[in-house]
Amino acid sequence: MNILPGEILYFLRKEYRFTAKYVSDYLSVSRPTYERYEKNIVEIPLSKICRLANLYHIEQMELLRRIIQAQTTIKISYNGTDFIANHNLDLSYPLAKC
């Protein structure tokens, strides 16, 4: 099963029992815009990822790592067998302060 970046946002929001309206207000975006992030219709800007990391009390790099991992996981089916391919990314560089 592939997990998309928006699903990570959805799972975190549900884990903290936040509404989409609450998170969208926190990010200063409309609720429909935030829902597009969760549905993977539009990419979430890095500045919003920083704000979400603060909201969910996790390190920026950890949230970014989860999102990038979701974006770089590819499911490949060959002769009825599913394989998962991941890119190994070096995320050791610090982000700018949010």
- The CATH superfamily assigned to 5-86 is lambda repressor-like DNA-binding domains (1.10.260.40)
What number of CA atoms fall less than 13 Å from residue 55's CA on the CB side? 24
pLDDT of residue 28: 96
What number of CA atoms fall less than 13 Å from residue 33's CA on the CB side? 12
Q: How many angstroms separate the Cα of 64 from the Cα of each of 24, 25, 53, 58?
A: 19, 21, 9, 10
Mean pLDDT of 73-94: 54
pLDDT of residue 36: 94
Q: Model's pTM, two decimal places?
A: 0.68
The per-residue pLDDT of the chain, averaged, comes to 78
Instruction: Please check the confidence at residue 62 and state whether its pLDDT lies above 60.
Output: yes
Per-domain residue ranges of the chain? 5-86
Instruction: Please check the confidence at residue 93 and state whether its pLDDT lies above 60.
Output: no
pLDDT of residue 52: 93
